[in-house]
Structure 1
Amino acid sequence: MLKKFACAAAFLVAAAIGAHAEGLDEINPDVAKRLYNKDMLDPMQPIGPSKWRDFKAKNPPPWKIGYASSYAGNTWRAAAMDELQNVIVPEWKQLGLLSDVIITQSNLNDATQIQQIRQLVDQGVDAIILCCSNPTALNASVKYAADKGVPVFSMTGYLTSEYAVNSSVNYQVGGYEIGKAMVDQLGGKGNVLVVEGIPGTSGSDSQNRGVLAGLASSPDIKIVGSVAGMWTDQVAQGEVQKWLATNPGKLDGIVVQSAAEMGVLRAVQQAGRGEIPVAIGGELGALCQWRKNPDYINYSFQLWPPADDIELMWHVMMRTLQGQGPKIQSILVDPVKLTHDDLKAVMNEDCSVDTAEWLKVGAKRWGYDPSYLDDFFLHPADPKAYKP
């Protein structure tokens, strides 16, 4: 499907960008057609010209960064935090570009996160990263930060504020690929349970919209239920167990948003419901299940590998602080499709299904490689080589 959109006529670019031509007509037209096509883009995804095109940080490096995390209770957040604390922070401190990272946690409470963002600004941070939040609830605090010269960067989901800079996969495209893969897995016919992430967050809602479109590609696929897995294995396991207990009818497949596939797999096994295909994302335990059982599913799709997502956002943030000028509000990347042969190349058969770690896709495939990211900035340069 991605190739289909990549080959679409040039007028699709104009259709995608509408009134926001200043930003999108400056990037690679193939990327614009593939990832910013209005028919495969969340209608709320901000794609206008960035407010930070002419920005340069008010302070010289080393910079103090705030990380206003909204949740810490799943394997994805743990993996992103591990990458931040043990890879990113030491590297960028050694480069002389980072002084400190101040981390807050709001536990999915918008009011708390709003207060924490304002406190980070008042504490003198030079920029703020946040993750996976409500797309509208934080907008006033983003404006508060912008008024103080502090840009806010939203990874793994967007904020609708015109002052936010966003980076992620195009989740609607990724969700479509996952839903369509399940259709193909089932031969175009069957009953499917949908396990959403955290409803109300942009990443979850965008992906779910795509999943439903992918499943709808066959009229003989029936969605027999939907539960919220909250991107957490334990939650998803409990919700799916309850659903299976009250719905004993035929079930042919389960589409689930990472990070919850291990919980879903355990629920199916404990319910004795056989080898129902479950969509697998980036959790290594679930990927190990597939590694040991090659015929279990056909493909895996990486929509938000945590280490890569925070690396991508970090590079976008550092480039912005250095005055490279982001062209548009949302920097989108492609979902990564894995075959079993791809998996064999990075995972041995003696892997453990009990690991809580995640697959790292790497810069060249994820989008923070300079060859891809340069195109989204007016004055691109290697951010690690910056000298004020």
Structure 2
Amino acid sequence: MTIKLTPRLTSSLLAAAAFTVLAGASSAMAQSSDKTFALSNNYAGNSWRQAMIKSWEDGTKAAVAAGAAKSADAFTTGENSPTEQAAQVQNLILQGYNAIVLNSASPSALNGAVKEACDAGITVVSFDGVVSEPCAWRVAVDFKKMGVDQIDYLAKRYPNGGNLLEIRGLAGTSVDDQIHAGLAEGVKNHPNFKIVREVQGDWTQTVAQKSVASVLPSLPEIIGVVTQGGDGFGAAQAFEAAGKPLPTIIMGNREDELRWWKQQKDK
């Protein structure tokens, strides 16, 4: 079962949506006061993921206090490793959790562990980084459209097109794959644009800044930077530090990105 949501959801709304789906996923979960829930998260290295974990903790703490759940624990793997996260899910099965909410390191590499959980009678809901195993629920955002929309916007602003730099997200995740696919489709629809270089940003300002800075000396003139969120401010810092003119940078909604955008607007 797949439930589709808008790309503009905040971390708190997305985590809340996943927990809501989990609570009503089956009639067996309708009476959940004695049920145990677990969050399996593959990564916590940026502010969005930190906010997501905080949202889970706040929401589930209230649910436990209200008697809607017996417990709701959060677990995060250290290195965005599908193998490590699959082992984590298998441990959650052995620990006897009734339901697992999953932000997955891979759309397919965890399918075996997810199927084991389903076969054990455990309800599994994946969100953000979703899994393709049919037995799991998926709270899915149309991330591909997010990529297409970026190129559509730039096509309106720059009718003659131009070169673009792409900052990618966390390697191997469904989110990164889908946004990248959307950008590729957007460029196909507007062939006067060309993505001349890709760098990894991991949805993190510091990683994006370092990656962009490393390619600036060899980069041809570009008119825009297409991103995945959390990386736009890092790109801006890299251009400013190198003394290069700022291209149009697609920003996310992180606090540092919005603060920098306002500073540019107020100049």
Matches within 5 A, 1:55-204: 55-57=27-29, 60-85=32-57, 87-106=58-77, 107-204=79-176
**In the aligned structure 2, how far is the partner of 1:55 from the partner of 1:135?**
27
Q: Which residue of 1 aligns with 2:261?
A: 290
**In the aligned structure 2, how far is the partner of 1:53 from the partner of 1:76?**
26
Contact 1:132 1:203 in 2 (8 A): no
**In the aligned structure 2, how far is the partner of 1:240 from the partner of 1:222?**
17
Query: What per-residue deviation string (whole Å, max 9, x for no partner) do you get for residues 91-126 of structure 1?
Result: 212321122222222221111111110111211211
**In the aligned structure 1, how far is the partner of 2:40 from the partner of 2:160?**
43
What displacement does 1:257 show? Answer: 0.8
**In the aligned structure 2, how far is the partner of 1:120 from the partner of 1:132?**
15
Contact 2:40 2:85 in 1 (8 A): yes
Q: Which residue of 2 aligns with 1:275?
A: 246
**In the aligned structure 1, how far is the partner of 2:261 from the partner of 2:85?**
37
Q: 1:132 to 1:113 in 2, by over 3 A?
A: closer
Secondary structure at 1:194's aligned position in 2? strand
- The letter for the 2-side match of 1:169 is V
- The letter for the 2-side match of 1:254 is V
- The letter for the 1-side match of 2:209 is Q
- The letter for the 1-side match of 2:60 is V
Quick one: which of 209, 220, 244 aligns to 2:192?
Answer: 220
What displacement does 1:266 show? Answer: 1.3
- The letter for the 2-side match of 1:278 is I
What displacement does 1:54 show? Answer: 5.5
Residues paired across the two proteins, number: 249
Contact 2:230 2:257 in 1 (8 A): no
Query: What per-residue deviation string (whole Å, max 9, x for no partner) do you get for residues 4-41 of structure 1?
Result: xxxxxxxxxxxxxxxxxxx79xx9xxx9xx99xxxxxx
- The letter for the 1-side match of 2:256 is G
What displacement does 1:267 show? Answer: 1.1
**In the aligned structure 2, how far is the partner of 1:58 from the partner of 1:223?**
49
Contact 2:32 2:69 in 1 (8 A): no
Contact 1:182 1:215 in 2 (8 A): no
Secondary structure at 2:170's aligned position in 1? coil
**In the aligned structure 2, how far is the partner of 1:220 from the partner of 1:258?**
24
**In the aligned structure 2, how far is the partner of 1:290 from the partner of 1:191?**
22
Quick one: which of 205, 225, 236 aligns to 1:265?
Answer: 236
**In the aligned structure 1, how far is the partner of 2:188 from the partner of 2:240?**
27
Contact 2:147 2:181 in 1 (8 A): yes
Which stretches of structure 1, 4 residues or more, deviate above 6 A after TM superposition? Answer: none
Query: What per-residue deviation string (whole Å, max 9, x for no partner) do you get for residues 262-304 of structure 1?
Result: 221211211222221111112121122223334xxxxxxxxxx
What displacement does 1:55 show? Answer: 4.9
Contact 2:169 2:228 in 1 (8 A): yes
Contact 1:58 1:149 in 2 (8 A): no
**In the aligned structure 2, how far is the partner of 1:187 from the partner of 1:100?**
55
**In the aligned structure 1, how far is the partner of 2:199 from the partner of 2:248?**
17
What displacement does 1:186 show? Answer: 2.5
What displacement does 1:133 show? Answer: 2.1
With normalisation by structure 2, the TM-score equals 0.84
Secondary structure at 1:227's aligned position in 2? strand
What displacement does 1:79 show? Answer: 1.0
RMSD, aligned α-carbons: 2.6
- The letter for the 1-side match of 2:253 is G
Contact 1:195 1:257 in 2 (8 A): yes
Secondary structure at 2:197's aligned position in 1? strand
**In the aligned structure 2, how far is the partner of 1:133 from the partner of 1:109?**
6
Identity rate, percent: 26
Contact 2:106 2:174 in 1 (8 A): yes
What displacement does 1:53 show? Answer: 7.1
What displacement does 1:212 show? Answer: 1.8
What displacement does 1:195 show? Answer: 0.9
